[in-house]
Amino acid sequence: METPLTQHIHLDEPLDLQGYEGVGGYEAARKAVTTMTPQEVQQVVKDSNLRGRGGAGFPTGQKWSFVPMGADALHPKYLVCNADEMEPGTFKDRLLLEGNPHQLIEGMIISAYAIQADVAYVFLRWAYKLSAQRLLKAIAECYAAGYLGQKVFGSGYRLEMYLHVSVGRYMCGEETGLLNSLEGKRASPRTKPPFPQVSGAWGLPTIVNNVETLVNVPHIVARGADWYKSLSVSADAGTKLYGVSGHVKRPGCWELPMGTTIRELLEEHAGGMAPGYRFRGLIPGGASTDFLTTEHLDVKMDFNSVQAAGSRMGTGTMIILDDQTCPVGFVANLEDFFAHESCGWCTPCREGVPWGAKLLAAIEAGEGEPGDIEKLAALCRGIAPGNTFCAFAPGAAEPLQSAIKYFRADFERHINEKRCPWGDFEWRRSTLTESSIR
């Protein structure tokens, strides 16, 4: 099994420029910039069927194709790497950033060249201090070698690259909220259209791609679209970084063929449930996805299969719910996070998500009333897609609406017994944060 994204990951001390070049690094970037046209780079990525790894799964080459090209296109153009990894339960990009920063820089050089971007930014989560140190060192090495700056690889192409540290809000992960933050504004979403590909950073053409998306690009350019598609065991191409957290024997992150089943991830790679715990369900792609249960264990972890099962693959990083953890408390913890992180731009999200979090906390504390479950279900309908300015509130609704669907009896028991059957809420809340959400 090939693992192109992680084969040269070294968390203790990542490869420097010389070491990265020793394993073939920057050969693809040099090939792209000196022997291919931007349109040819776009085409090979489009042919590879690379889909965005930040959660939405939009075809990367198609996204690039929306950027105006040619002599009449506005400049400067921007490429922005979304490294603001704040999705609870998700830690895949951190592995790539800390373990092999040059791989990301190479992917950004190729991707920037493909859209003829003049400036590239790494928009980094504020808490990723070690990632920042390693990225700054790698960027400096590239400038010294002539891989960034006035004449990239001695060509006529110029690219400036900067590291930008996020202000630390979850909304910065939404691409237009990210662009507002990059410009020094409040991190709130923008109206679409216009889309960032036409009017993004400072009103100019901009592409925003996730870390994991960008590190795929050098391997596609080096080895071709057909090779990349052969890595998968599903219709979606390539490999995927999958993560598992919660009460399992071996929590972690693994690069595996796209379409690996939930059962294989849980039982083989995570080692199954930890002693004394039994599986009840999971959130497949970070906090803002719907629960799946035992009946879904053989679902392939790819974009279409997980959607068909009633959830979203999202970031591909599972949070496991076990039989010793209260599902109401589990969801209450998540909704408290979403309530805190709402940017407050639209009323349904600003008012609805915190209200739902308070109602969940009351149910968990034994203060729930008959009809509260119906109120929560109505809230989920009220903040569904199409009713809010961006996808934040619908994402917050997903774990809640699916918890009501699959664990309704647990909600009812809280209300009927006027207590949480699993014990003290505050103690378990801290346990959930440490064990299930990371």
d(CA 380, CA 361): 16
Amino acid at 211: V
Mean pLDDT of 49-69: 94
Mean pLDDT of 202-207: 98
Q: What's the topology of domain 239-322?
A: Ubiquitin-like (UB roll) (3.10.20)
What is the SS3 assignment for 313-369? CCCCEEEEEECCCCHHHHHHHHHHHHHHHCCCCCHHHHHHHHHHHHHHHHHHCCCCC
- Does residue 429 register a pLDDT over 60? no
Mean pLDDT of 338-354: 92
Question: What is the per-residue pLDDT for 173?
Answer: 86
d(CA 194, CA 199): 6
How many of the other CB atoms lie within 10 Å of CB of 146? 13
Question: What is the per-residue pLDDT for 426?
Answer: 52
Angle 130-271-255 from CA coordinates, rounded to 5°:
45
How many of the other CB atoms lie within 10 Å of CB of 232? 20
d(CA 230, CA 402): 34
Q: Express each pLDDT in 40-53 by its tens digit.
A: 999 999 999 999 99
- Does residue 386 register a pLDDT over 70? yes
User: What's the pLDDT band for 333 if we cut at 50, 70, 90?
Assistant: very high
Question: What is the per-residue pLDDT for 428?
Answer: 46
Q: Which of 247-251, 320-324, 396-400, 432-436 has the lowest mean pLDDT?
A: 432-436
Mean pLDDT of 284-288: 91
d(CA 228, CA 217): 10
- Does residue 103 register a pLDDT over 60? yes
Question: What is the per-residue pLDDT for 87?
Answer: 87
| CB proximity list for 339: less than 8 A, separation 6 or greater | 353, 354, 356, 357, 358
Question: What is the per-residue pLDDT for 286?
Answer: 87
User: What's the pLDDT band for 424 if we cut at 50, 70, 90?
Assistant: low
Question: What is the per-residue pLDDT for 1?
Answer: 81
- Percentage, residues of the chain above pLDDT 70: 96
End-to-end CA distance of the chain: 28
Question: What is the per-residue pLDDT for 55?
Answer: 81
How many of the other CB atoms lie within 10 Å of CB of 303? 25
Q: Express each pLDDT in 292-303 by its tens digit.
A: 999 999 999 999
Question: What is the per-residue pLDDT for 431?
Answer: 46
- Residue located via tokens 């063929």: 257
User: What's the pLDDT band for 434 if we cut at 50, 70, 90?
Assistant: very low
- Does residue 175 register a pLDDT over 50? yes
Mean pLDDT of 94-102: 98
Mean pLDDT of the chain: 94
**Domain spans, the chain:** 17-230, 239-322, 327-437
Mean pLDDT of 241-266: 97
Q: Looking at the domain covering 327-437, what would its CATH class be?
A: mainly alpha
Tell me the CATH number for domain 17-230. 3.40.50.11540
